[in-house]
Structures are given as C-alpha cells and as structure tokens.
C-alpha cells in the first residue's frame, strides 16, 4: 500500500487545450465518437455501434442517479447575492425522505459569497402555479468543510423536490465556463436517470439513447441498474504531490438484492457504464469481505474507506496474497446471504474507495467511460484498469479530434 500512496499525480498530466473540452453535447447523443481500446490496440467507431463490441451474454451495469437542481440563489436585503450549493442531506439524511419533506429540512452545503452572510436568515418567495411559498435558509454552523443549513418554508404544501424544481439551478461542471442553460436540464441527465440525489451527472451514460438500449437488449446483453449519488468531490483536484495525501469524498450507494443475484448469475463479472458504476461494483466486493469476517455487521459499517482495498488486513496480516483472496463470487454470495438474514431488498451504504494503479479489479471486466481531466482520481482509475496504458488511449484521442470531459466523447476499454 505504501507504494501506491507514493504515486505522483504529476505522472498523470497531459495537455488538454480548452478548445478540446466539449462545452455542449452532440445534437444526437449516440452520434458521439467511441474509442475502442481492446487488448492494447486502439481504434474508433461511433457510439451507436457499441453493442457489436460486447459479448452476447454479458451483464451491463448503469448508474440510475438523477442530477438535482442543487444551486440555490438568495439575495440579502443589502443586495448581496448568496449561492447555496446542496451537497448531501443532513436531516433527514435519507435522500428519498429528504425530497418528500414538506415543511423543513437540513443540508450540508457550500456557500458562495459566504463573507457577506455572517448571520441572519435568508428569504426568497417563489410562485408555482397559483401557489406562493416563502423559503428561509439559516446557517447552523460548520460541518467539516461544509456548512449545515436549515431550510423551512410556509404556505401551501410543497415538497422540497418541488422547491428545487422551482428555484434550483442545475450545477453543470465548472470547467464548462458557462452559465447553465435550459437545454442542460435534459442533456445533462441520462435517459434512464430515476433516483434524485447527484450534483454531477454520471457522464458516460449521457451517450445512451433508447435506441442503443433496445439494441443492447436485442443483442442478448442484460442490463442492471444501481445508484451512486455523485458528489461535488468528483471535481476535487488532487493538490498533493502524491495521492497518499489526497482525501476522497464519500458517496452514497444503493444496490438491489436482484442486482447482486444477476452479478452472481454472470460469474461475478460485469461491464460498467462509467466510473461511478465502477466504484460501486468494486466496493461491493469489499462489503462482502466485511460480511464474511463479521457476519453481524450493520449496514452503516459496510462503508468502504479510501485505502481499505490496499490495507494490510487484506494481505500481510491475513497472510493472503491477492490471488488467495476470496473470489468475487464468494464475496457477493456472502453479501446476498447477509441481506437475506437482515430481510433487505436494497443495500444502502457508502464508499470512499480510491482506485489507483496497483489496484486489482474484482468485478468490472469492461468499462465505458468518457475522457477525464489531467491529474484526476478518475484518470488514476482508468490507468489502473488498463494496466498503466492510459497515455496511448489519451494520445490517440487528442490526435483524432475526440471531445473531452462531461459532454465529450466516449471510450470502451477492454484490457
């Protein structure tokens, strides 16, 4: 593990001209370019041809999270504009319950122009149809690197989900260097998005259309969905020289028992759509190990910490080398049986996993992903997946007019 923590992030630098960052998506999602990396060889195609590159009996796993309109703007009586960026629910802490609240709730937030809001309550009145509602925001105090903000609203019964739909702004990535537009409300959501909670889209999924999904079905490729709510930390740059000093953000996951059954039916292997699906699927393995070691563990304690996959408890202390570790099938069976004992149809937990070169993938065998920022943890994840051959992939994409980042083109990686 020490060796992995000493990885220099500067080794994952490449030149990305601003004009190569796609500011808007293609008019047709599935007309984007698709880089094909297969056993060390690189080529390209158009995304709508993706199904023909996949094995017919494969399981493809998608993240069905939906981006919320997480930016709220309030104006003080002095005229100062305050932005409140919702990060994660605090009370109630459950996402589903949060969006159904009708009088008050609390979030952990980032605050823009914070020096202008040292005390007092912010207010904003909104009108939805013939309903007029006043929402108030009060700072309770710091909570780690974020602020605990209490919201309350009066007037006709409205859920917090309706409040956000009325006054929230969709938080497109900062590197787009533009204002959110009405079109982003559609184009910055996957066509299969369902579960509200993310502040950033799982962008590999933005290329899929209903036509491509239908062709996957026709090709005999099974589809499953899980949920990982993407946090603002996904854009957090690695500022330390080595990755050992970088703290990963925590993300909340929900995986149905049925999905684990389908993974078992496919030998514990899957094709992941996006790095968020990767982090969830690979975290399931380590949750399974926890269950094997502590059969009465509770759901919250299944959280996968940042360095857990590399920790000494999994090799040096146990005397097991990687090849002697339990298989993905064994870990997933243990997790399924634990869910059955606790009568759970859906597993709710969290992960802080960092996947970097030296990591051994347990479940994900193929990956559909976009092109990521230089010196990012997402680029580390890709490098780990292709055994360090990321530069060949990115050199090809730069030389062949591929579009980069959230609204950019895609790749299919087959190590």
300 shares a domain with 367: yes
Asked if 277 contacts 226 with a C-beta cutoff of 8 angstroms, the reply is yes
Q: Are residues 342 and 379 in the same domain?
A: yes
* pLDDT band, very low/low/confident/very high, at 338 (cuts 50, 70, 90): very high
User: Is there a single domain that holds both residue 149 and residue 193?
Assistant: no
Q: Is residue 177 included in any domain, yes or no?
A: no
Total length of the chain: 415
Asked if 220 and 79 sit in the same domain, the reply is no
* Pair 271, 387 in one domain: yes
Same domain, 209 and 147: no
Q: Compute the Cα dihedral for 180, 232, 378, 6 and give only its sign.
A: positive
**Is the distance from CB of 169 to CB of 188 less than 8 angstroms?**
no
* Predicted local distance difference test score (pLDDT) of residue 321: 52
Q: Is residue 175 part of a domain?
A: no
- The domain in which residue 8 lies consists of 2-66+185-414
Continuous segment of H or E residues that includes residue 379: helix 377-385
Q: What sign does the CA torsion over 181, 81, 196, 50 have?
A: positive
CA distances from 33 to 144, 204, 410 (A): 41, 12, 6
Residues 60 and 90 occupy one common structural domain:
no
The verdict on 111 and 144 lying in the same domain is: yes
Taking a C-beta distance cutoff of 8 angstroms, is the pair 97, 110 a contact?
Answer: no
Last residue of a domain, one of 135, 169, 203: 169
Beta strand ranges found along 230-307 (DSSP E):
251-256, 270-273
pLDDT band at residue 128 using 50, 70 and 90 as cut-offs: confident
415/411 Cα distance (integer angstroms): 12
pLDDT in tens, 82-114: 999 999 999 999 999 999 999 999 999 999 998
Give a yes or no: residue 178 inside a domain.
Answer: no
Q: Using pLDDT thresholds of 50, 70 and 90, give the confidence band for residue 323.
A: low
Q: How many domains does the chain have?
A: 2
Q: Residue 384: which CATH number?
A: 3.40.1780.10
221-258, pLDDT tens digit by residue?
A: 999 999 999 987 777 789 999 999 999 989 999 999 99
* Cα 328 from Cα 265, distance rounded (Å): 12
* Model confidence pLDDT, tens digit, residues 7-29: 999 999 999 999 999 999 999 99
Sign for the pseudo-dihedral over CA of 264, 269, 274, 278 = positive
**Residue range 130-142, pLDDT digits in tens:** 788 999 999 998 8
Q: Are residues 107 and 253 in the same domain?
A: no
Do 253 and 333 sit in the same domain of this protein? Answer: yes
Both 133 and 274 in one domain: the answer is: no
Is residue 7 in some structural domain?
yes
- With beta carbons less than 8 A apart as the criterion, state whether 23 and 176 touch: yes
- Is 256 part of any domain? yes
Note whether 117 and 201 are same-domain residues.
Answer: no
Helices 275-293 and 328-341, interaxial angle, to 10°? 70
Residue 174 lies inside a defined structural domain of this protein: no
């Amino acid at each position: 593990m020490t060796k992995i923590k000493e990885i220099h992030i500067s080794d994952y630098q490449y030149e990305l001209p601003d004009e190569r960052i796609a500011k808007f998506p293609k008019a047709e999602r599935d007309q984007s370019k698709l880089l094909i990396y297969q056993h060390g060889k690189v080529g390209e195609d158009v995304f709508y041809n993706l199904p023909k590159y996949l094995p017919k009996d494969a399981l493809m796993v998608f993240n069905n999270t939906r981006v919320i309109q997480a930016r709220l703007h309030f104006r003080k009586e002095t005229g100062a504009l305050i932005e409140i960026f919702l990060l994660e629910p605090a009370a109630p802490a459950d996402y589903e319950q949060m969006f159904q609240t009708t009088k008050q709730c609390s979030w952990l937030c980032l605050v823009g122009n914070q020096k202008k809001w040292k005390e007092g309550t912010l207010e904003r009145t909104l009108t939805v149809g013939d309903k007029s509602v006043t929402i108030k925001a009060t700072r309770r105090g710091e909570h780690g690197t974020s602020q605990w903000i209490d919201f309350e609203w009066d007037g006709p019964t409205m859920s917090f989900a309706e409040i956000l739909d009325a006054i929230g702004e969709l938080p497109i990535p900062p590197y787009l260097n533009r204002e959110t537009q009405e079109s982003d409300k559609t184009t910055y959501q996957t066509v299969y998005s369902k579960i509200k909670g993310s502040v950033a889209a799982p962008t590999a999924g933005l290329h899929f259309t209903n036509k491509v999904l239908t062709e996957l079905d026709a090709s005999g490729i099974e589809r499953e969905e899980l949920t990982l709510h993407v946090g603002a930390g996904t854009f957090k740059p690695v500022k330390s020289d080595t990755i050992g000093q970088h703290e990963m953000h925590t993300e909340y996951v929900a995986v149905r028992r049925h999905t684990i059954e389908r993974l078992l039916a496919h030998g514990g292997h899957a094709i992941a759509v996006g790095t968020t699906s990767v982090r969830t699927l690979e975290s399931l393995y380590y949750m399974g190990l926890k269950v094997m070691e502590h059969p009465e563990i509770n759901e919250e304690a299944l959280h996968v910490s940042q360095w857990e996959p590399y920790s000494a408890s999994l090799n040096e202390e146990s005397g097991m080398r990687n090849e002697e570790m339990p298989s993905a099938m064994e870990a997933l069976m243990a997790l399924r049986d634990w869910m059955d004992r606790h009568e759970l149809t859906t597993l709710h937990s969290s992960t802080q996993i960092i996947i970097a070169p030296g990591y051994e993938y347990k479940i994900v065998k193929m990956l559909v992903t976009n092109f990521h920022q230089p010196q990012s943890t997402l680029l580390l994840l890709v490098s780990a997946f292709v055994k360090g051959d990321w530069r060949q992939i990115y050199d090809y994409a730069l030389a062949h007019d591929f579009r980069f980042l959230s609204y950019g083109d895609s790749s299919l990686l087959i190590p």
